[in-house]
């Protein structure tokens, strides 16, 4: 790969392309997202973008930097460090891709990154992707707003009880709408407790979908009443579809459920990968970036 000399450019001439890679299945990335990956000089990727997507679509000469991002894992990189990385590479390259799982707009913490670029006058573009709710809905045969079952859908997250107030729990517990909980499978006992306290019908069904749309997708079906008291550890990422529509899964499921528990499609932040790590670029900002580019040429 021939790199444009950094001396020949003014500061901040590069552009950051935020790409939603979809829920994991490499066939579900957009055409535009795939085309930009093929042109990228640098790809800064979250683990939930999926290694297979990079292997299939990325420019083979691109610098690929793994920034991890695994909720609740102390080895995940700080958002502030990722923000610094975006600034550094925008000064060095013209086409930098920030690759995130799902869609950029849904629970991706993109706000901090966009604000960083705006503060530093760095150009950017946002390319949407299929969010986990849409992917899980399609691959479980559950139409989220099926007529007669739900008048709408709410996309939520719940990691402590202060997130949703008492009045809101009452509205959710009526189940006029389908509830989709992101990043909340480890807090299901608390969610169910709050819904029942707020008057929910305990026969309401729900699904927990592990690693939706991937070969390792597993679907677990419960009702509010039948969910076991003993904690269950679901594989990350997992998404919860809760409401009357969840009962349609048994009728309309078309994608084969993975029969082997515990298999992971997405690596954890501890797992080794062929990608460069963020650390050298943060501790030795521009020098670290330039050293890597010299090795890539």
Collect all residues with Cβ–Cβ distance below 8 Å to 90 and sequence separation of at least 6.
12, 13, 14, 15, 16, 96, 117, 120, 122
- Over residues 241-264, the pLDDT tens digits come to 999 999 999 999 999 888 777 778
Which residue numbers are catalytic?
46, 69
Give the separation between CA 273 and CA 292, rounded to whole angstroms: 17
Give the separation between CA 32 and CA 232, rounded to whole angstroms: 38
Instruction: For residues 30-42, give the mean pLDDT.
Output: 98
Flag whether the pTM goes above 0.85: yes
Q: Is 9 within 8 Å of 33 (Cβ atoms)?
A: no
pLDDT value of position 297? 38
Residue 145: pLDDT above 90? yes
């Amino acid at each position: 790969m021939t790199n444009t000399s950094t001396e020949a450019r003014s500061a901040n001439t590069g552009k950051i392309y935020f790409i939603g890679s979809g829920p994991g299945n490499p066939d579900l990335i957009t055409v535009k997202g795939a085309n930009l990956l093929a042109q990228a000089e640098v790809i800064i990727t979250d683990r939930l973008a999926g290694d297979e997507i990079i292997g299939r679509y990325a420019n083979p000469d691109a610098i690929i930097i793994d920034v991890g991002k695994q909720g609740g894992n102390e080895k995940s990189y700080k958002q502030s460090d990722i923000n610094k990385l975006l600034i550094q590479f925008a000064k060095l390259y013209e086409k930098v891709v920030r690759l995130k799982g799902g869609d950029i707009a849904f629970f991706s913490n993109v706000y901090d990154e966009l604000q960083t670029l705006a503060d530093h006058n760095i150009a950017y573009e946002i390319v949407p992707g299929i969010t986990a709710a849409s992917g899980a809905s399609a691959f479980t045969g559950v139409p989220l707003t099926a007529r007669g079952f739900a008048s709408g859908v709410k996309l939520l997250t719940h990691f402590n009880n202060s997130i949703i107030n008492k009045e809101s729990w009452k509205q959710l517990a009526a189940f006029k709408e389908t509830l989709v909980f992101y990043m909340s499978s480890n807090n299901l006992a608390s969610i169910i407790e709050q819904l029942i306290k707020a008057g929910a019908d305990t026969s309401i069904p729900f699904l927990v979908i592990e690693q939706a749309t991937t070969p390792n997708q597993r679907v677990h079906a419960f009702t509010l009443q039948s969910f076991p008291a003993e904690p269950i550890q679901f594989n990350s990422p997992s998404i919860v579809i809760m409401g009357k529509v969840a009962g349609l899964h048994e009728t309309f499921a078309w994608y084969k459920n993975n029969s082997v528990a515990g298999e992971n499609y997405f690596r954890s932040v501890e797992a080794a990968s062929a990608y460069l790590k963020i650390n050298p670029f943060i501790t030795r900002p521009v020098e670290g970036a330039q050293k890597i580019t010299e090795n890539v040429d």
